[in-house]
Amino acid sequence: MPFEWIAAIRFLREGRMQSVFIIIGAAIGVAVIVFMSALLEGMQGNLIRRVLSAQPHIVLERPKDAARVLREPEPGQSPLAIVQTPPQRPDNIDQWQKVRDEMLVRSDIVAVAVTVSGPAFAVRGETGQAISLTGIEPEQYARIVPLPDKIVAGSYRMTSSDVLIGKQLATDLGVGVGDKLRLVTSVGGTATLNISAIVDLGSRSANQRATFVVLSTAQSLLHRTGGASSINLTVPEPFDAELVAQSIAGQTGLEALSWIATNNEFFLALNAQRFTIGMIRLFIGLSVAAGIASVLVVSVVQRSKEIGILRAMGGSRGQIMRVFLLQGAMVGLLGSLSGSALATLLSAGWRLIARSPDGTPLFPVDINAKLYLLAALLATLTGLVAAVTPATRAARMLPVEAIRG
């Protein structure tokens, strides 16, 4: 074993209590960082799944009509007073089949589903309620919004005579699976359909208005035969949705709305959460580094005579410096290993304690191997960097002065 390793291990053994306490401190810091990182990832993943499980990552729509000038302004009159935005009429996407095919070949798109939507009225006997009618392609749309997983009654069977409705709408109208429901649209379309399933979309307002039929049925009811009002997309990484949406808008000329743009407050909250946990990691890392550095500074003072003797026996400044750098790295590594074990115990305890009212786990907290390796690397580097100042101080000691103390 090289001289530096022998001296570093011996110094750590001789100052056993100091070494144990600083390793414990480093382990607690690493455990907090690893567990908090896994907890944040699990919590964010759970929130994103809940938010995005009922909506696509990106929605492509026909561009909105721009404001038009009604007449030329008279002298002294503000142009704003005579410019009016036209009412936005529901309209089809031009050549939507071509756009859909272009989206299917993009590497940053994993699922594409065409929909037709519009307002309608659900009638059951003498009771009626305003609804949002959505025509879907069942298999493709299930890859965007997992409707089969949201069914609370019935089955995911969709033919031209079937309709899926929200749980609250079923309660308000007093209907269930197998009952008939008449749908009436503002353009005069009407159809009596069989309720094949009731779904829970996780929101009372959505459950109160949502109805799903096959694409052809919606096109007929809304008098938009062969048309499509939107193209829904899913991307591999949800946080890249806005960049992908901007790229698609430039490619197709359509209006591309990402979930980030439509849920901006939620996205800002996630970013604030990320920033906060990043600051927590930074300050914990700094406290661990300060602890390692303080212990090594004390070690240099306590072992000044040994350092002087080593220098007098021919030890170079580089060797003395490497002794204390190795001590810092070993303390960081041992702390990371102990901290990773402690983080695993905390994760197991979280799974036992954090439960929903129905007894199911609140959300998963999984620590992957990559996080363990990253923690070990960062803790070792932290220990190494923290040892630079005491190592430099030890290397600069003159042999005679160090032996005299």
Q: What is the mean pLDDT of the chain?
A: 81
Determine the pLDDT at residue 377: 83
Coil, helix or strand for 362?
coil
Q: Which of 227, 242, 156, 223 is nearest to 195 (CA)?
A: 156
Q: What is the mean pLDDT of residues 30-36?
A: 82
Question: pLDDT: is 235 or 80 the higher one?
Answer: 235
Q: What is the pLDDT of residue 301?
A: 65
Are 224 and 278 part of one and the same domain? no
Q: Are residues 153 and 117 part of one domain?
A: yes
Domain boundary among 209, 228, 257: 257
Residue 197 pLDDT exceeds 90: yes
Q: Is the pLDDT of residue 390 over 80?
A: no
pLDDT for 404 = 63
Question: What does the pLDDT read at residue 245?
Answer: 92
pLDDT given for residue 76 in this prediction? 64
Total domain count, the chain:
2
Structural domain contains residue 79:
no
Q: Give the span between the Cα atoms of 35 and 41, in whole angstroms.
A: 10
Residue 296 placed within a domain:
yes
Collapsing DSSP to helix, strand or coil, 146 comes out as coil
pLDDT at residue 231, as a whole number: 92
| Same domain (yes/no): 131, 207 | yes
> Rounded mean pLDDT of 262-286?
77
- Which residue, 207, 238, 257, sits at the end of a domain? 257
Residues 172 and 134 in one domain: yes
- In sequence order, the 6+-apart residues with CB closer than 8 A to the CB of 390 are 293, 296, 297, 299, 300, 324, 328
For the chain, first and last CA: distance in Å? 29
293 in a structural domain: yes
- Check whether residue 107 and residue 223 sit in a common domain: yes
Asked, for residue 282, whether it belongs to a domain, the answer is yes
Cα–Cα dist 136/219, whole Å: 10
Same domain, 245 and 118: yes
Listed residues 257, 280, 295: the one ending a domain: 257
Q: Sign of the CA dihedral 240, 244, 245, 246?
A: positive
Mean predicted confidence (pLDDT) in 196-208: 88
Which pLDDT belongs to residue 198?
Answer: 93
| CA-atom Rg of the chain in angstroms | 33
Same domain, 166 and 304: no
pLDDT at residue 88 in the model: 54
Instruction: Specify whether 393 is located in the same domain as 356.
Output: yes
Residue 122 to residue 138: CA distance in whole angstroms: 21
For residue 112, pLDDT over 90 is answered with yes
Residue 222 lies in a domain: yes
* Claim to verify: residue 125 and residue 250 sit in the same structural domain: yes
What does the pLDDT read at residue 381? 82
* Shared-domain flag, residues 252 and 279: no
Nearest-angstrom CA–CA distance, 346 and 162? 49
Same domain, 220 and 299: no
> Per-residue confidence at 401, pLDDT binned at 50, 70, 90?
low
11: β partners: none
**Predicted local distance difference test score (pLDDT) of residue 109:** 92
Highest mean pLDDT among 123-132, 321-330, 388-397 belongs to 123-132
DSSP 242-311: HHHHHHHHHHH-SEEEEHHHHTHHHHHHHHHHHHHHHHHHHHHHHHHHHHHHHHHHHHHHHTHHHHHHHH
Q: Is residue 242 part of a domain?
A: yes
Domain coverage including residue 131: 90-257
Q: In whole angstroms, what is the distance from residue 60 CA to residue 210 CA?
A: 20
pLDDT band at 72 (very low <50, low <70, confident <90, very high): low
Residue 210 has pLDDT above 60, yes or no: yes
pLDDT computed for residue 325 by the predictor: 82
Q: Do 224 and 109 belong to one domain?
A: yes
- 72 in a structural domain: no
The SS3 of residue 141 is helix
Would you place residue 365 in the very low, low, confident or very high pLDDT band (cuts 50, 70, 90)? Answer: confident
Spatial separation of the C-alpha atoms in residues 288 and 32, rounded to whole Å: 11
- CA atoms in the 13 A half-sphere facing the CB of 364: 5
151-178 pLDDT per residue, tens: 999 988 888 899 999 999 999 898 999 8
pLDDT at 246: 92
202 or 86: which leads in pLDDT: 202
From 67-71, 185-189, 206-210, 217-221, the region with the lowest mean pLDDT: 67-71
Selection from 267, 134, 146, 142 nearest residue 211 by Cα: 134
Query: Per the domain annotation, does 58 fall within a domain?
Result: no
Least confident of 49-53, 220-224, 392-396: 49-53
